[in-house]
Chain A
Amino acid sequence: MTGELLRAEGIGKRFGGFVALEGITMSFAAGQLTSIIGPNGAGKSTFFNILSGALTPTSGKLHFRGRELSGLPQHRFVHQGISRSYQITNIFPDLTVHENVRVAAQALTVSYDIWRNRARLTELHARADAALDAVGLLGKRGELAKFLSHGQQRALEIAIALVSEPELLLLDEPTAGMGPEETRDMVALLERLADKRTVLLVEHKMKMVLGLSKRVVVLHHGRLLADGAPDEIRSNPEVRRVYLGQSEGYG
């Protein structure tokens, strides 16, 4: 995987009079882990929503693998190779852990088959188990998702996004609500994931971000503030000013 994977050109989003994002232009090369950081309200979630098709930009264009994504309905994004996990856990509560992931895997192959017995689609079962294994949840495969602990549900979040084998994985605050130990486990997982695919991460925990990423993008009030290697960002006076007073969080 080489070359430019994703390019945002002048992406902007308005909600009525409120400007959430403006003039976001950047590109992402394949194979890197990039973190997107910024204070609350900076527009990170909005940007993610646009990248994953949940929102349409009010201005600008998005290109993925050279193809423009305007007008593509949300449910087609995953078929293009872009997959996303959510900041607030967004799973299928009354399905088993295994089924949560299996049904996500199924979406890419078959939707409207009302005839075959899906238990026979063994490849999907295998892929689901593989994704669960990757996030360390294989032992819980038979449990109902609603009975998992918070940290386990966050891992399930990622497994669901992972099973579609995306080229671009968008992770929205994967460590949200986690304590130091769970965060360490998640970071280890993210390192393993970043090896094999392009990852875009939205996070708040600075130490974690700086340790993990090849590149850091800083958003502030909907605009691009800074963009570069972790060391550059760490010593960037603008960034320090914006984050003055913000706690560094666990890392």
Chain B
Amino acid sequence: MTSPSSGEALAKTAPSGLGRLLDQRVLLSIAVLALLPWLLPSQALAVNVLIYGVVVMGYNLLFGYTGLLSFGQAAFFGAGAYFTGIAIGRYGVPWFAAVPIAVLLSTCLAALIGIVSTRTRGIYFSMVTLALAQLVYYVALQASSFTGGENGLRGFTVDRINLFGFTVNFLDPVNKYYVLMAFAALAMWFQSRILNSPFGAVIEAIRENEQRARACGYDVERSKLIVFMLSGAISSLGGCMLALHLSIVPLDLLHYQTSGMIVMMVLLGGARSFFGPFVGAASFLILEDVISLWTPHWQIFVGTIFVLFVLFLPKGIWGTLLDTLGIGKARP
């Protein structure tokens, strides 16, 4: 697949009308997300697609674009959720301060984990990220006075959003969806800026040929650490969204099986595409919903589908689709 340089480049290769439209990937994505509650069978599903889409988008930055297969993204997803819940529930911080604080703290966590794990490469990196994320899980399990331990974090509910003089009843599902969509839009805009930036080119170069990137003059280790932190920050925002949505944070959020689910979503949707994370999240969640209607053992099907995807469709649904349509092949 190709390097997503500026939108103008994309426009020159795809048919002009379509191309110009696809330029505005952030706006397009927001438009699709705005319609989601009507496109999907249930409201709850739509909210989850938003939340997990943002988490997977952050992960895609690390895995899809930089090529670092981490198995520990759950640590940042969970951190965002827990920090938000603790700030609101325990310290009475209003939501609009809790969220930035949570993202900031999660980014610090990402820095700590990143410093250790980016010293490794390849398979070690995958193993180490899994292990360090499990460490976070065990710490959360033990620190039960803060986190609620096995029972999860409770006792914080945001029922009203006060912003610029308007009061929105957050408990209303439609309101909740669009408030959370605003978060998602912010995350998407941030991600798009990163991908279009000089740094965005650096991470792709690292993915393509780490050794040459270093020889060209890039501090590869530092760049990996930075993208690790950015990825953690974006995924943690997804965690904040989850906390606001559920008013509980289950401990399982930090387990590596959640990390695995994130990996599956990115693969289902197609790594290294802008909207792929949302497609992947939607696919996974719909699958889970549908299959668990007739069996509680949907994990077997998830596992099987995952195995089949690895074997036969490594580019995922969205990626294969883009490929077939010939979008974004050669570019000036």
Q: Which A residues have a C-beta under 8 Å from some C-beta of B?
A: 52, 54, 73-79, 84, 86, 90-96, 98-99, 102-104, 106-108, 110-119, 121, 141-144, 160, 164
Could you tell me if A79 and B217 are in contact, using CB atoms closer than 8 angstroms? yes
Q: Could you tell me which residues of chain B, from 4 to 52, have a CB within 8 Å of some CB in chain A?
A: 5-6, 8-9
Which residues in A have their C-beta under 8 angstroms from that of B212?
86, 90-92, 160
Contact with A52, one of B215, B222, B330 (Cβ below 8 angstroms): B215
Which residues in B have their C-beta under 8 angstroms from that of A110?
198
Which residues in A have their C-beta under 8 angstroms from that of B329?
144
Q: Is the interface of B mostly helix, strand, loop or mixed?
A: helix
Which residues in B have their C-beta under 8 angstroms from that of A141?
332
| B187 at the binding interface (Cβ < 8 Å) | no
What is the CA–CA distance of A34 and B1 in the complex, to the nearest angstrom? 40
Shortest C-beta distance, B7 to chain A (Å), equals 8
| B218 at the binding interface (Cβ < 8 Å) | yes
Shortest C-beta distance, B279 to chain A (Å), equals 21
Could you tell me if A118 and B6 are in contact, using CB atoms closer than 8 angstroms? yes
Contact with B196, one of A99, A102, A117 (Cβ below 8 angstroms): A117
Could you tell me if A95 and B204 are in contact, using CB atoms closer than 8 angstroms? yes
Contact with A94, one of B3, B211, B226, B230 (Cβ below 8 angstroms): B3
Which residues in B have their C-beta under 8 angstroms from that of A164?
216-217
Contact with B198, one of A78, A79, A86, A111 (Cβ below 8 angstroms): A111
Shortest C-beta distance, B40 to chain A (Å), equals 32
| B159 at the binding interface (Cβ < 8 Å) | no
Could you tell me if B6 and A119 are in contact, using CB atoms closer than 8 angstroms? yes
Q: Which B residues have a C-beta under 8 Å from some C-beta of A?
A: 1-3, 5-6, 8-9, 193-194, 196-202, 204-205, 208-209, 211-220, 222-223, 226, 230, 329-332
Could you tell me if B330 and A95 are in contact, using CB atoms closer than 8 angstroms? no
Shortest C-beta distance, B137 to chain A (Å), equals 30
> Chain A CB within 10 Å — which of B201, B209, B220 has the most?
B201
Shortest C-beta distance, A248 to chain B (Å), equals 31
Shortest C-beta distance, A86 to chain B (Å), equals 8
A84's closest neighbor in chain B, by CB? B215
Question: Can you identify 22 A-B contacts, CB atoms within 8 angstroms?
Answer: A54-B215, A75-B216, A75-B219, A76-B217, A92-B204, A92-B209, A92-B212, A95-B208, A96-B330, A96-B332, A99-B5, A106-B202, A111-B223, A112-B199, A114-B193, A114-B194, A115-B193, A117-B193, A118-B197, A119-B5, A141-B332, A142-B332
Could you tell me if A116 and B205 are in contact, using CB atoms closer than 8 angstroms? no
What is the CA–CA distance of A160 and B209 in the complex, to the nearest angstrom? 13
Apart from A92-B205, A93-B208, A164-B216, what 15 extra A-B contacts exist at CB < 8 Å? A73-B219, A74-B214, A77-B217, A78-B215, A79-B217, A92-B213, A95-B2, A96-B330, A111-B199, A111-B218, A114-B197, A114-B230, A119-B8, A143-B330, A164-B217
What is the CA–CA distance of A71 and B60 in the complex, to the nearest angstrom? 35
Shortest C-beta distance, B58 to chain A (Å), equals 14
Could you tell me if A107 and B216 are in contact, using CB atoms closer than 8 angstroms? yes
- Ordered nearest first, which 10 A-B pairs have the shortest CB separation? A119-B6, A107-B217, A92-B208, A78-B217, A142-B332, A104-B216, A113-B198, A114-B199, A107-B216, A118-B198
Which residues in A have their C-beta under 8 angstroms from that of B197?
113-118
Could you tell me if A90 and B209 are in contact, using CB atoms closer than 8 angstroms? yes
A119's closest neighbor in chain B, by CB? B6
What is the CA–CA distance of A108 and B216 in the complex, to the nearest angstrom? 8
Could you tell me if B196 and A103 are in contact, using CB atoms closer than 8 angstroms? no
What is the CA–CA distance of A141 and B215 in the complex, to the nearest angstrom? 22
Question: Given A93-B209, A103-B202, are A78 and B9 neighbors across the interface (CB < 8 Å)?
Answer: no
Could you tell me if B199 and A160 are in contact, using CB atoms closer than 8 angstroms? no
